[in-house]
Structure 1
Amino acid sequence: MATSDPTGRVSVDPPAAGGSGRAGGERGRAYRGGGASPRPCPLSAPGVGHRLPHARPAGQPGAGPPPAGRDGRATLHPHRPPAPQPSSDLSGVSPRRGDPLHRPGGDDPRDRAGNRLRRSGALAGTVRPLSDLPGGEGEVRKERGTVHGISFPGRGAWRGGFVGLVVLSLLVACAPSATSTVEATLTPVPLAAGERLRVVATTTIVGDVVARVGGEAIQLTVLLQPGEDPHSYHPRPSDLTALAEAHVLFVNGLGLEAFLDETLRNVGGDRPVVSVSEGITPRRHPRNPDQPDPHVWFDVRNVIVWVDNIETALSALDPAHADLYAANAAAYREALEALDAWIAEQVATVPEENRKLVTNHPAFGYFADRYGFEQIGTVYPVSPSAEPSAQDIARLEEAIRQYGVPAIFTENTVNPALAEQIAEDTGVALVPLYTGSLGGPGSGVESYVDLMRYDVTAIVEALRGGGTGGGQGE
């Protein structure tokens, strides 16, 4: 529900949410306050904590998903010791299917084996905090839209008395340590009676997962609007205001938010930044092996790691609601495990020889590794901001013809014009997907679970010959 306080500020309550677990392994040390890290490194550096077992080509030790078995089911390697398999019925996974993911409360959240869930984990990749910015009364924040009750700062919002460019220093601590980053860096925020933790997330996908864990205990603002591309985003004045007021900022990390490095460079203060991807072993970019692939959310197991990290951070900052965060996180983790199993079942209906992907840019590496696809090529070999050469386009068209790929999968955050040209030249279909952003209100793709269900349905139908996907992306 949208409400306004005496200053005229408009805020939107996030939903009660569900999801959790723990991120184990080696911790990364983070540094707080004005002192510099003895080993600073950019936000784009990969995490240094616990490494999630990562899929490899089938047949290798520690390999990812092998070919479908005799019963036609794809086999997945779990990210932790086997537990009773969750139901593949997603009636309780999608908020649109009647059983909301929001499960706040719970006296003693436990996992499937009956063990009480911990509220700790590895959160390296936190950075030097934000500073408070001077400003007068009378702030007005215009709401542009919401996704599950998350507020998005309006482009016209501004703050009286706030002058100049606000920048944030993002110095990632890279030195490993046996001490939990949360225990070493994140300390409880003093909140007045009835005051909620003010949280900012960079992308709509990160924001949705934060909302599932934080529920009604947090006041959440998301910087990017639905449909905005993180690769080309530029912060607005209202975004800087939201950052200045935040108790914590959650980022995807692994170089996705390149805009933070330059635009938010030099602000000090005490607002920590948490990389939700800490503890995930990143893939390497196919064209730039020195750079990590930041699109980790296309492997559902990685989003379970996000949930672990978010729960740990929120519980450290707001211990009064730690039980709520743990219960929400546990419920959402269960839903994600069911989603992962459902994806495997859907993929098993596609003949193995048809599991070939041509996409707009290299965003589906984690998806391909986890669920047994081969990436044939991309329209933009590096990123949507770097135009391909004529030779790149010619090679892609040749590969499409050679492998008999039936479709090019486009993205809701990338202009499809070049993909349309290639599809026309090769006679294949265009299938729109949601990739770096959720859809807007009413799109039907307003949560991470919605996004994965939509994309998997579209891919499966296109590759097994059942149509051209789940609908038109935004």
Structure 2
Amino acid sequence: MLVFDQKSLINPFSKIIALYALLISTGCNSLTQTNSNNNPSIGGGEKPTNSASNQNLPVVVATTSVLCDLTKQIAATTVDLKCLIQAGQDPHTYQPTSGDRKSIETAKLIFYAGYDFDPSLAKLVKSSNNPAPKIAVHEVAVPQPLYGEGDEHKHEHQAEKTEGKTPDPHVWHNAQNGIRMIATIRDNLTQISPNNETNYHNNAQQITNELQQIDTWIKSEIQTIPAQQRNLVTTHDALGYYTNAYGLNFEGALSGLSTEQQPTAARVGELVKEIKSTKVPTIFAEVTVNPKLIKTVAKEAKVQLSNREIFADGLGEPNSEGDTYQKMLVANTQTIVEGLGGKYTPFVKKP
């Protein structure tokens, strides 16, 4: 355990923390990543529409961009899909709208994340009088989550220790968990639209096959990073499932499992020292979190800040390199491999 003189840390960073808090409260949801290195062959970039032709279809609500994309890929045009949190928005801090309430009240099926990932919407879903099935997809698909200390900076990503810890909701960063989420979504769609069971099964199987390929590809990509450089530092603690599944060491983050947690001046100084001691070559910002404070950490620690941001809390906006679930996994892997000194080879989907 590292021990520091907090008085020596507070003065240099107190103004930075105040600025960071202001930025978090006003602008973190507006940041998105776009990149010309798109691969439209990965995943299905088609987005849901709400045209008049959807009026006779069952309404399905998906609270997050990941759930929305997976539901769209499985259901295609057989449902009227309402996506509440748009790509590029932060589920941790999202506040429901009157339109969200209306969608929840009229839905025939509701998919929300669970594990306190989308807390405001989850509360709204649970309190609704709508008798429609309300599926916490992350909890159903991954009933034994990793755990982190939600109010502390040092997290232990392991399922064995649960007392006093918070379930990590970012389950989709492990492609195998994504496959489990697909099965959960497929089965519940079949319950409300049994006539489409064959279509749902076939679509889900296609996505599953692709994710199996991506899972294998990620493992091989991470192996190209020199062993002593497989250390990850990010803005908040969102990639525990990724590091646990693919052989990286999670060295630290500015804040915990939620972006609502604001780092203290002591935490900033401690992270700088951790980076120096582990000789991390590159640290990473995230798409939905303002990068100013992590830039300061990089400067103080004298390491590089990747010019590519990680899709940590959802997908990228339309036409970005992370606008589907599959493309997001590939884009994040490229960011990490290139940033940590590995040899990146583009993913090629096999028939």
Quickly name the TM-score band, shorter chain normalised: 0.7 to 0.9
Contact 1:276/1:305 (8 A) holds in 2: no
CA distance in 1, matches of 2:325, 2:145: 20
Deviations 1:200-251 (A, max 9, x none): 1011111111111111212211101221001100011111122222111111
Question: Is the aligned partner of 1:360 residue 2:230?
Answer: no
Pick closer, same or farther for the CA change 1:440–1:208 going to 2, 3 Å: same
Deviations 1:409-446 (A, max 9, x none): 11111111111111111122222111112121221221
Of the structure 1 ranges 294-303 and 259-268, higher mean CA displacement relative to structure 2 is found in 259-268
2:47 is matched with which residue?
149
Contact 1:356/1:374 (8 A) holds in 2: yes
> Structure 1: which amino acid aligns with 2:106?
E
Question: Is the aligned partner of 1:282 residue 2:145?
Answer: yes
Q: CA RMSD in A?
A: 2.5
CA distance in 1, matches of 2:50, 2:261: 28
Pick closer, same or farther for the CA change 1:152–1:297 going to 2, 3 Å: farther
Question: Is the aligned partner of 1:198 residue 2:73?
Answer: no
CA distance in 1, matches of 2:97, 2:322: 25
Q: Which has the larger radius of gyration?
A: 1
CA distance in 1, matches of 2:198, 2:126: 35
CA distance in 2, matches of 1:313, 1:303: 16
User: Per the alignment, in what secondary structure is the counterpart of residue 450 of structure 1?
Assistant: helix
2:77 is matched with which residue?
216
1:11 is matched with which residue?
none
Gaps of 5+ in 1: 1-93, 103-146, 154-192, 468-474
1:401 is matched with which residue?
276
For residues 408-419 of structure 1, the aligned pairs below 5 Å read 408-419=283-294
Report deviation, 1:387.
1.6
Contact 1:152/1:225 (8 A) holds in 2: no
CA distance in 2, matches of 1:221, 1:319: 20
Gaps of 5+ in 2: 1-36, 152-163, 345-351
Report deviation, 1:405.
0.6
**Aligned residue pair count:** 291
Q: How much identity, in percent, do the aligned residues show?
A: 28
Counterpart of 1:429 (choices 295, 304, 318) is: 304
Report deviation, 1:391.
1.6
Contact 2:237/2:253 (8 A) holds in 1: yes
CA distance in 2, matches of 1:204, 1:279: 17
Pick closer, same or farther for the CA change 1:245–1:382 going to 2, 3 Å: closer
CA distance in 1, matches of 2:182, 2:127: 29
Pick closer, same or farther for the CA change 1:465–1:350 going to 2, 3 Å: closer
For residues 234-313 of structure 1, the aligned pairs below 5 Å read 234-264=95-125, 266-277=127-138, 278-280=140-142, 281-287=144-150, 289-313=164-188
More helix by percentage = 2
User: Per the alignment, in what secondary structure is the counterpart of residue 127 of structure 2?
Assistant: coil
> Structure 2: which amino acid aligns with 1:292?
P
CA distance in 2, matches of 1:265, 1:343: 36
Pick closer, same or farther for the CA change 1:393–1:405 going to 2, 3 Å: same
Structure 1 length normalisation: TM-score? 0.58
Structure 2 length normalisation: TM-score? 0.77
Contact 1:397/1:422 (8 A) holds in 2: yes
2:328 is matched with which residue?
451
